[in-house]
Structure 1
Amino acid sequence: MVVIPSPVVSDRLFSGGLSMHMQPIVDLQTGRLNRVEALARLNLSDGTVMFPDDFLPPLTPVEIDRLFREGLDQSLGHLAQWDALGVEVTISVNVAPATLLHDDCLHWVSEALERYGIEPRRLELELLESDSMSQRAQSSVVERLLELGVGLAMDDLGSGYSSLKRLSTLPFRSIKLDRDLLVDIRRKPTQTLSLIATLRQLGRDFGVSVVVEGLEDQGMTEAAAVLGVALGQGYFLAKPMPADALPTWIANYQYPLHAGRIVTNLGALAYHWQYSRWDWRHVLNLERCPLTAYLAATLTAADTSTGVSTDTAAVQHWHALQHGSGGEQGGGEQGSGGEQGSGGEQGSDAQRLAASRHLVDWFEERVRAER
């Protein structure tokens, strides 16, 4: 952590040291850019770049309000510049609850939108976590912002005790899953997948889009996509970048995942787990199942990367049983449009369920070996 005296921070922050970097948020199902998040950076005169965790704590409430106004102004200014280049995106800007409740906040937002000629629908305010703010007071402000046309996102769902109550009280457009939820994904993979899937379903039930933050590698990203999470953000997809670099990034961007393919252990575990959690059979034909290609590539390669011993015939048998007939299966969203259970090996439900548990254990062992 960079330790800088408080007066130096505030003086530099409001005398040309503030810049807004942009981090793309990507649609995990289509690979398209959905929006960007504006992230504040403090550039010191010696070239040091400070992050919010370093420069926010010493700021006074008045300075926090001023930071929001100046960050909003820069962000909308960048939107106008991108528009001139033919690049139209939506942007999200963080706002502290106390700033949101400021008597002039609505005026600050509407005036900035008007100054740069930006449609309100292209701005989303990310409301930071706070247990101390009145839900009723927040609701009043949010209603006025919605009337203006600005969207609202809940930042870091899962990091605070009051998150669920806030979600049920305020009309959020989207919710962001706290990056800390992924910290233990390779130590407790199925538990983490369960949290992600549950919160994704919660978002769907509330009619809001879900963003998973902290996607740092291909496995995490593939697992989130397999579980049906709408949006993702993290270093694997794109690092925060200076605002003037965004148009070039958009022009050159290629989505790093491939539709219908699974290439990581976490992705494979997520794919099988979404069926095993309900004791369902896999819905696609065995030959078309993405795990078939994944296992073919994995089982023909040496397991030196994970150190996990493999009985090739047993793993393939466990998987084939998930596509065999026998018993009834509930109708889930993952099962729509597939040729249910065809092409696999025949076996009793008891055999299939035991094989399913073996598969989960095997996938988990491979995931844990990546730590």
Structure 2
Amino acid sequence: MKSLLTDPVDAEVIPARTLLGLGPRNQDIGNLRQLQLAPLRGRGSLRLVMGMGMALVAAFTMILSVPLPVAAGWLGAALLFGLWSFNQFRNMPFGDPKLSGVAEHRLCTRHALYSAVLWGSPFWLQGLSPTLDHVLSMWTIAVLMMVTLSIVAHSVPLACVLFIAPVTLSAAVALVRAGAPQLAGVALVAGLLLCAFCVRFAQSHIRFRRAEETLHEKTETVSLLLREFEETSADWLWQTDNSRRLVHVSPRLAFALGGTAERLEGVPLLQALSGDAWETGLFPKSLHDMAERMKRRESFSNLIVPVTIGGMPRWWELSASPRLDETGKFLGFRGVGSDVTEKRATAEQIAKMARFDNLTGLPNRLSLNEDLARALNHALDAKSRCALLMIDLDRFKAVNDTLGHPVGDKLLAQVAARLKGLMERGMTCGRLGGDEFAVVLHNVASADAAEELAQRLITTISRPYVVDNHQLFVGASIGFAMGPQDGATVETLTRNADLALYKSKDKGGNVVAGYVASLHAQAEERRVMEQELRGALERGEFELYYQPVVTAADGTLNGFEALIRWQNKKLGNVSPGRFIPLAEDARLISPIGEWVLRTACHEAMKWPSNLKVAINVSADQLTDPSFASVVVSALAQSGLSPQRLEIEVTESVFLRDGGGAAQLLDQLIGLGIRLSLDDFGTGYSSLGYLRKTQFSTIKVDRSFVVGAAKGSIESIAIIRAVVALADSLGMSTTAEGAETELEVDTIRAMGCSNIQGYYYGRPMPASDVLTLFRAPEAADSAAA
């Protein structure tokens, strides 16, 4: 092997006579003609453009010195010749190793001679006594043609010489006739030098190409030998003769084929691989492909073919290249093979895993995208509609957090089974990941039909589940988009369905939302707001306002509720109703809530000691294990008594959490902090919340206050029931949103403990709150 790598490359220079085709007819020139013709492959368009371009330049040059019909006639002849020559060479198999190349070489020389006649004629279009200016201009263009040809077709020097020599000779004679014999000598010398250049250039080219082929063959042989000795025992070398029969069968190949080397010697390769199918001719397609490639003497690499060994199906991976001798004669094929049966089985399993969800068995995102692409293509072709439904489970996180992921996984499997049971022809459901699913609808009639299916999905998913003796309830939010009107590509339709899903979740879940164009603007607004919200704390854009809470009986001030405000340079004043949900989704509510807590406690220390401060806390904050320590830290740093701090929570805290929030609230109660249940009666209104946690206050929503003032029997009954319930549990009640004297009188008449609303004061900044306490002191000092 070492000697093979270090053998000197054949550096023999091809004689000029042989290169020009002037040697003996029986001379062995091997693959010389193919090497000469190979660089011409694919250059037909270049030659056509070059010839026509130079013909146009020559015609425009001679138009001032030659009669117009003569110049036009020559130009027409040149253009027709160029097109004819291009057509002759267009499908010519230049450099094909299976051909000798002699015919193609002769065609090149003939066309070079025809072209020489064409380009030698412009010197004589003025007659036998042309002017010097005309001859010189034509000679300049002819020189450009000869130089260009020498570069483009240097590998075929005979063609170059047959063009250069006649054109040069014609130019020299014309120069003599024009009275410039010395220039004629220069032209002859230039033509001679160009011919010599072409021959020398061709010799270098052929020498280089032969050296390249020799190195390629040796490198290929070394690579095959290295694979034979260095790869695993499943690999082997194989070789055939020019009839595609096995030769030099190695013991390793014989073992793989289940026979002996002697018995397999001379057996057709296809017969050895196909087994019993050899008699019937019913070969697998991949074996047919391999046989065709070998018939065409083409190389192939990493071709996977099924084989039958001892009656058992196997899979082999084969690579091979044709073998040629020094003269270019085909000898057969040499290649390498390996048994990839186990590898293929593993690959098929991996492919299946890559396309289906392991937990639910449903198609995964990749499969759904492919199915959606098919649905879109069909909708575009048939001018019909398709749809994509995006499904997100509501309250699933609570199951994972409280009962663990194994229970959550079993719940997802049951959800998948229900989805699959609703699928009909033209429907595909799959899991995108986590608690997200999707349904692809082919050829759906209308958006109403898609919405109807979505409602059925919600109804089915929302039925109770039983997992490990636990009865579980989850809902579903669904957003859908119609194709192709809502998106003609998979990416666009998926994005728009996702925007619709966001809309459905913003509505509180368990609803269906269809895509509308305005969702893009809302998404962009949301993106900008989130970007600004992330730096709002550092930029100091938040401010706390405080709304008074008074005793219902006599209107005495007993505290304030802290309300956050956001002033942004880009967005202006942003209401809490817009940015608080976004802060919760973006996981920004905890740092913002901590700032509110610390700031409110600090400001409350400047008030009289009998006044409380109420702070709203989100469910995300109460699921943070460090929240209790943050409250303790805020109280310690500000010096505020725990009894003066009231934390307000809503019923959603208990719906989104499986018990952790209730435990944390119990810890806060143990510190002496008061708890208030906000918006009681507007949500789920479960009395179990009041049993779980010792609230000090129940807040009645403004909607009931307004209704009671207008005489609504239902609102009056609800307020009275809440007041009676609170009194029996030792809790106080606070009515929110009282704005008129009638509303205040109504609330007092029904026994509410406290009142909060514009009637007693709008939310005000901290400086205005301090003014309320300093006014009497200023009045006393003025009287003194």
Q: Same fold (TM over 0.5)?
A: yes
After superposition, give the CA deviation of every residue in 1:228-269 in whole Å (9 maximum; x if it has no partner): 11101111111100011113235679xxxxxxxxxxxxxxxx
Give yes or no for the alignment of 1:30 onto 2:554. Answer: yes
1:56 alignment partner, SS class: helix
Give yes or no for the alignment of 1:146 onto 2:669. Answer: yes
Residue type of the alignment partner of 1:65: S
Q: Residue 156 of structure 1 corresponds to which residue in structure 2? A: 679
Q: Residue 311 of structure 1 corresponds to which residue in structure 2? A: none
Give yes or no for the alignment of 1:89 onto 2:611. Answer: yes
- More displaced stretch, 174-183 vs 209-218: 174-183
Whole-Å Cα distance in 1 between the matches of residues 586 and 664 of structure 2? 18
Match of 1:79 among 595, 604, 613: 604
Deviation, 1:178, is: 1.5
After superposition, give the CA deviation of every residue in 1:15-67 in whole Å (9 maximum; x if it has no partner): 20111100011101121112110001001236932221011122245311111
Q: Residue 565 of structure 2 corresponds to which residue in structure 1? A: 41
Whole-Å Cα distance in 1 between the matches of residues 686 and 556 of structure 2? 29
Deviation, 1:153, is: 0.7
Whole-Å Cα distance in 2 between the matches of residues 33 and 184 of structure 1? 25
Q: Residue 282 of structure 2 corresponds to which residue in structure 1? A: none
Q: Residue 169 of structure 1 corresponds to which residue in structure 2? A: 692
After superposition, give the CA deviation of every residue in 1:330-354 in whole Å (9 maximum; x if it has no partner): xxxxxxxxxxxxxxxxxxxxxxxxx
Deviation, 1:124, is: 0.8
Q: TM-score, normalised by structure 1?
A: 0.62
Whole-Å Cα distance in 2 between the matches of residues 246 and 113 of structure 1? 20
Residue type of the alignment partner of 2:531: P
Deviation, 1:188, is: 4.5
Give yes or no for the alignment of 1:215 onto 2:738. Answer: yes
Q: TM-score, normalised by structure 2?
A: 0.30
1:110 alignment partner, SS class: helix
Contact 1:23 1:240 (C-alpha < 8 Å) held by counterparts:
yes
Alignment of 1:1-371 (within 5 A): 5-45=529-569, 48-59=572-583, 60=585, 62-82=587-607, 86=608, 88-130=610-652, 132-134=655-657, 136-185=659-708, 187-249=710-772
Residue type of the alignment partner of 2:539: S
Q: Residue 41 of structure 2 corresponds to which residue in structure 1? A: none
Deviation, 1:144, is: 1.1
RMSD of aligned alpha carbons? 2.4
Residue type of the alignment partner of 1:71: V
Whole-Å Cα distance in 1 between the matches of residues 658 and 694 of structure 2? 12
User: Residues 184, 31 of structure 1: CA spacing in aligned structure 2 closer, same or farther, 3 A cutoff?
Assistant: closer
Q: Which runs of 5+ in 1 are unaligned?
A: 254-371
Residue type of the alignment partner of 1:95: V
User: Residues 13, 49 of structure 1: CA spacing in aligned structure 2 closer, same or farther, 3 A cutoff?
Assistant: farther
User: Residues 219, 187 of structure 1: CA spacing in aligned structure 2 closer, same or farther, 3 A cutoff?
Assistant: closer
- Alignment coverage as a number of residue pairs: 250
Whole-Å Cα distance in 2 between the matches of residues 20 and 47 of structure 1? 18
User: Residues 250, 227 of structure 1: CA spacing in aligned structure 2 closer, same or farther, 3 A cutoff?
Assistant: farther
Name whichever structure is richer in helix by fraction. Answer: 2
Deviation, 1:14, is: 4.3
After superposition, give the CA deviation of every residue in 1:48-106 in whole Å (9 maximum; x if it has no partner): 32221011122245311111100011101111233xxx565210101012211211001
User: Residues 61, 122 of structure 1: CA spacing in aligned structure 2 closer, same or farther, 3 A cutoff?
Assistant: farther
Please tell me whether Structure 1 or Structure 2 has the larger radius of gyration of its CA atoms: 2
Identity value in percent:
27
User: Residues 173, 187 of structure 1: CA spacing in aligned structure 2 closer, same or farther, 3 A cutoff?
Assistant: closer
2:687 alignment partner, SS class: helix
1:5 alignment partner, SS class: helix
Whole-Å Cα distance in 1 between the matches of residues 538 and 610 of structure 2? 28
Deviation, 1:187, is: 5.0
After superposition, give the CA deviation of every residue in 1:106-165 in whole Å (9 maximum; x if it has no partner): 100000100011111110110133053335322211221112111111111011114422
Residue type of the alignment partner of 1:119: S
Deviation, 1:213, is: 0.5
